[in-house]
Amino acid sequence: MAFTTLFVVMLLASGAEARTSPVTKIVNMLKEMTTQLQHEQDADNEMMEQMKCWCETYDKEKTAAILAAEDALAQLKVVRQENGAAAALHTQEIAALEKQLAQSEEALAQATEQRRKRLAEFNEEEKDLLGSITSVGNAVISLEKHHSASLLQVDKNSHAATHSVALMLQTLLRKHNNVLAEVITPHQRKIVASLLHQGTSMLQTPEDYFAAVAAVGVRLPRSMSKFMPNKELMQLDEEGPANILRPGRESASGAIFGILKQMKESFEANLNSAQIEETADNKEFGDLKSTKTTEIAATEASLDEKKQLQGQASFNKAKADQDEEDTQAILEADTKYLTGLKATCATADADFELRRKTRIE
């Protein structure tokens, strides 16, 4: 540009050559060239000031941005590691709580099923005992009625009632053998056995006797048969079936009433015991259910809390991962830009120094 200006000045000066001396022409031309070069230097200086300002400004900004990005990456690394560890811990805690919850629910379900079965068993037992108590009570009423009549005369109805009582006693002795095993003695069972044949047929042989007593739970060795004459079998310890409820045989009838009374008392005692046990079992189940229900509710609350914490930690970790990726990309871009900026500014300085030196020369 300086040489172009010099050429123009020389052309202009050539037009006034005839009116101006050669020395004056050269001096004027050099003055104009000096002025032009100074103008160009001033413009170049102004441009270079702007360039330096731009270089310094963006150098500081990018340097600060790079430092901030490096700090952010360090913090994001810590956040990512902490939340990753927290998420892993909460995952383990959730698995443990889910296992605990399943165990508590299973325990409650098993206890509920056992309670249902025991209640059904109690209801059945209570029904049987109440039925047996009613049967024994009705038998006492029936025997009292026919016994009063038998004091005056022996009739078929009395024998039939006695035989009906015997059948009922046989059924109860079989059905509640575990309850009556230690309550009704073998002698009393023999009396019941004799009643089984009252009103139907007499005991004729030892086999008849063994069958009768076996029906009510008495087990005698077969070897005893040869020691029992038929007459004694007929009498059944001198209390034969035909004479048990006849007048003058109060001890035998008293034995029957005694058997019925013992049965009734035993059934009532067992019913009372079963009812007490049922009440205690129901209370125990209620306490267990309350405890397990509270435990399950607490576990579910903890499980919900841990799931929320696990979700938040996982979200924080994922966000930190994404932020770290984005920050790393920005850091790389800023580093690349700053490197280019420094190179550009260094080149601009060198070019400016070269131009300044050339003008001075």
Distances (CA, A) of 144 to 171, 192, 244: 21, 17, 14
Q: Is the pLDDT of residue 212 over 50?
A: no
Question: Would you mind telling me the total number of residues written for the chain in this entry?
Answer: 361
Q: Which two tokens stand for residue 155?
A: 């009739």
CB 130 within 8 A of CB 271: yes
Band (pLDDT 50/70/90 cuts) for residue 199 is: very low
Does the pLDDT of residue 263 top 60, yes or no?
A: yes
Tokens representing 97 are 């709580």
pLDDT digits (tens, 9 = 90+) for 83-92: 999 999 999 9
Q: How confident is the model at residue 355 (pLDDT cuts 50, 70, 90)?
A: confident
Determine how many CB atoms are found less than 10 A away from the CB of residue 273: 10
3-state secondary structure of 166: helix
Query: Who wins on pLDDT, 348 or 11?
Result: 348
Q: Which amino acid is at 74?
A: A
What pTM was estimated for this model as a whole? 0.57
pLDDT at 195 over 50: yes
118 falls in which pLDDT band (50, 70, 90)? very high
Q: Which pLDDT value is given to residue 158?
A: 56
Look at residue 44 in the predicted model and tell me its pLDDT. 74
Helix (H, G, I), strand (E, B) or coil at 340: helix
Backbone angles phi, psi at 218, to 5 degrees: -95, 125
Beta-carbon contacts of residue 255 (< 8 Å; ≥ 6 apart)? 188, 191, 239
Name the average pLDDT for the chain: 76
DSSP state of 227: G
Distance from C-alpha of 120 to C-alpha of 286, rounded to nearest angstrom? 17
Mean pLDDT, rounded, for 19-45 = 80
Look at residue 248 and tell me whether its pLDDT is greater than 60.
no
3-state secondary structure at position 29: helix
Who has greater pLDDT, 231 or 56?
A: 56
* Token pair listed for 206: 């030892």
Is pLDDT of 51 > 60?
yes
* 21-44: average pLDDT: 81
Which residues touch 333 (CB under 8 Å, ≥6 apart)? none
Q: Using one digit for the tens of pLDDT, what is the confidence trace for 289-341?
A: 999 999 999 999 999 999 999 999 999 999 999 999 999 999 999 999 989 98
Tokens of 318: 């994922």
Identify the pLDDT of residue 8. Answer: 47
Segments making up each domain of the chain, as ranges? 2-97+317-360, 99-305
Q: Is 23 exposed, middle or buried (0-12, 13-18, 19+ CB in 10 A)?
A: exposed
Q: What is the pLDDT of residue 34?
A: 81
Hey, what are 211's tokens?
């069958």
173 near 184, Cβ under 8 Å? Answer: yes
Top mean pLDDT of 3-7, 133-137, 315-319 is at 315-319
- Band (pLDDT 50/70/90 cuts) for residue 249 is very low
d(CA 311, CA 305): 10
Maximum mean pLDDT: which of 5-9, 10-14, 271-275: 271-275
